[in-house]
Amino acid sequence: MAQVDQAGKPGPTTTHITISDGALIPDKGEGSFFSAWRISFFGALGLVVLLPVLSPDPYLNILRFLPDGILRTFQVTLISIFFSLIIGLITGLGRISRNVFINRLATVYVEVIRGIPLLVQLFYIYFALGRFLSLDRMVAAILAMSVCYGAYMGEIFRAGIQSIPKGQMEAALALGMSRRQALQLVILPQTMKIILPPIGNEFIALLKDSSLVSIVAVSDLLRRGREYAATTFQYFEAYTMVALIYLVFTLFFSKLVALMEERLDHSGR
Amino acid sequence: MADRIRITNVSKSFRTVEAVRNASLTVQTGQVVLIIGPSGSGKSTLLRCVNRLETATSGEIWIDDQLVTDPKGNIRQIREEVGMVFQNFNLFPHLTALQNIALSPRKVKGIPRAQAEERARVLLTRVGLAEKEDSYPDQLSGGQQQRVAIARALAMDPKVMLFDEPTSALDPEMIKEVLDVMLSLAAEGMTMLVVSHEMGFARAAADLVVFMDQGEIIETGTPEQLFDSPKEERTRRFLKHIL
């Protein structure tokens, strides 16, 4: 009879949810000066600076050629993350909905999207659906990324909402609030704090996955590198710089997420 | 005195388990009724049926002239008038004590913020926590949290207060401060239905004590009757355990 006389402990509990598909999050415990994160980050950053200095041709030329692509990469990433958050919130709420139809719809969306590789989704939206509606390649790229990551975000929202103790909803309802008010005023504000780190992880994963859009000829970082290589045949040099720049960014943001996680741990709220 | 809460033949099943079986109980306006019983006896479940946090499987619960168990009834309106205090306080951790109290009056009753906060301050003073209005729940002791939770429930001007083991999660030295608030509420004539084993509170404030076991109401009486000369064997056995 679990519902009756629930024994529980008073006081605050910090809830952690871990949803990770392998983004690089530095381990807090790894405090040594030569932590893996430091070696990788400063190594990559050092190379990005040193290579152009020591060997301006071709590295400086490559570095000059890439900024457009970096901007495009961030544009795709930021717009996609924005829409995936909106889709994720709706999906997450759908996944906990007591309305069977809405619940099933949200769950099917998550299952289907998570079962199809992002690259295939991208092909599908741009090439397959291109037969019926000719989407701009940027639009198609952002649409594919948003729809795909929306499903993952939905799971983060769902897990976040469900990690809030049941008593919070009960207290809100007992005070006369509607379920919607309880979600809006009590549950979601608490959820936001918990899901910030996993959302940060998704942001990093999306930043990396955004390189896929280069195959529908969006001139992102990877595509620019390829364009440079195609004219100069300096594949090794071009892709080395591309890889290093991705690495610098993802490591930088993963550190940011780790710091954010730590701060949230320390402030009780 | 009029009947404020009328519970008639209420049963509640969770899948295969019958948590409450055919319980009937009447609480008159201004009465304080204590429900005691071993863990798993269904006392909390019965209490939670009164504001429909659990939906009774059968039977009727009335609060004044409103039928709580009516599936088409406006449960939100009933809940506005039925305050509830939980074992684990369930304060909203992202809000200060003051905000915890003022939130529902503002959002449910549409009372302007300044007015709701004014009232919240009065209530905080009443539970002895005037200086804690800007504290977050995790900065408060268990006893203080529970007092804020009582103030939060009172902010809706309920005509009935439900207490679900309000002192069970507290360290012994904090129990008194919560019971004192409950005693003053009782003295002011609040109708209270309390699940608790606090004998001192029962003797000081309760009009009736109800003993439940295995989902059934076994015995009902004044504190003196029930504690000093229980009629039923099961009641006697239980009291021996807790006294």
Does the beta-carbon distance from A174 to B84 stay under 8 Å? yes
Q: Which of A10, A173, A176 sits opposite B88 (nearest CB)?
A: A10
Distances (CA, A) of B109 to A185, B76, B104, B133, B239: 15, 11, 7, 21, 43
Return the residue matching tokens 């809405």. Answer: A102
Asked whether the predicted pLDDT for residue A32 surpasses 90, the reply is: no
Answer with the residue of higher pLDDT: A252 or A32. Answer: A252
A157 close to A195: Cβ distance less than 8 angstroms: yes
CATH fit for domain A33-267, picks 3.90.980.10, 1.10.3720.10, 3.20.20.80, 3.90.25.10: 1.10.3720.10
ipTM over 0.85: yes
The stretch B38-43 carries a mean pLDDT of: 93
Does the beta-carbon distance from A10 to B45 stay under 8 Å? no
Chain B's closest residue to A165, CA to CA, is B90
- Which pLDDT score, from 0 to 100, does residue A217 have? 86
Percent of chain A's residues with pLDDT above 70 = 87
Asked whether the predicted pLDDT for residue A11 surpasses 60, the reply is: no
Asked whether the predicted pLDDT for residue A28 surpasses 70, the reply is: no
Asked whether the predicted pLDDT for residue A25 surpasses 80, the reply is: no
Give the span between the Cα atoms of A115 and A79, in whole angstroms: 23
B28 close to B12: Cβ distance less than 8 angstroms: no
Q: What is the DSSP string of B81-147?
A: TEEEE-TT----TTS-HHHHHHHHHHHHH---HHHHHHHHHHHHHHTT-GGGTT--GGGS-HHHHHH
pLDDT tens profile B124-159: 999 999 999 999 999 999 999 999 999 999 999 999
Amino acid occupying residue A10? P
Give the span between the Cα atoms of A184 and A179, in whole angstroms: 9
pLDDT tens profile B152-182: 999 999 999 999 999 999 999 999 999 999 9
pLDDT tens profile B49-71: 999 999 999 999 999 999 999 99
By DSSP bridging, strand B160-164 and strand B82-85 are: parallel
Lowest mean pLDDT among A53-57, B55-59, B108-112: A53-57
Asked whether the predicted pLDDT for residue A69 surpasses 60, the reply is: yes
The stretch A185-198 carries a mean pLDDT of: 93
Asked whether the predicted pLDDT for residue A18 surpasses 70, the reply is: no
- Which pLDDT score, from 0 to 100, does residue A3 have? 34
Omega of the bond prior to B172 within 30 degrees of 0, cis? Answer: no
Map residue B34 onto helix, strand or coil: strand
Give chain A's mean pLDDT.
Answer: 88
Cite the DSSP H helix spans in A66-117: 67-95, 100-115
Answer with the residue of higher pLDDT: B145 or A15. Answer: B145
Q: Which of B19, B88, B104 sits opposite A8 (nearest CB)?
A: B88
Does the beta-carbon distance from A171 to B86 stay under 8 Å? yes
Interface of A with B (CB under 8 A): 1, 3-12, 165, 167-168, 170-178, 181, 185-186, 189-190, 193, 268-269
Contact list, A7 vs chain B (CB under 8 Å): 39, 168
Query: Over the range B102-134, which residues count as b (16 or more CB within 10 Å of their CB) and which as e?
Result: bbbbbbbeebeeeebbebbeebbebbebeebbe
Give chain B's mean pLDDT.
Answer: 95
Distances (CA, A) of B204 to A158, A221, B183: 47, 76, 8
Answer with the residue of higher pLDDT: A152 or A193. Answer: A152
- Which pLDDT score, from 0 to 100, does residue A16 have? 67
Asked whether the predicted pLDDT for residue A155 surpasses 80, the reply is: yes
Asked whether the predicted pLDDT for residue A111 surpasses 90, the reply is: yes
CA dihedral (A201, A206, A207, A213) in degrees, to 10, reads 170
Asked whether the predicted pLDDT for residue A82 surpasses 70, the reply is: yes
Q: Which of A5, A6, A189 sits opposite B94 (nearest CB)?
A: A189
Give residue limits of the domains in chain A.
33-267
Please give the biggest Cα pair distance in chain B: 56
The stretch B210-233 carries a mean pLDDT of: 95
Residue A21 CB neighbour total at 10 angstroms: 10
Map residue A64 onto helix, strand or coil: helix
A146 close to A113: Cβ distance less than 8 angstroms: no
- Which pLDDT score, from 0 to 100, does residue A4 have? 35
Q: What is the DSSP string of B3-33?
A: EEEEEEEEEEEETTEEEEEEEEEEEETT-EE
Answer with the residue of higher pLDDT: B44 or A131. Answer: B44
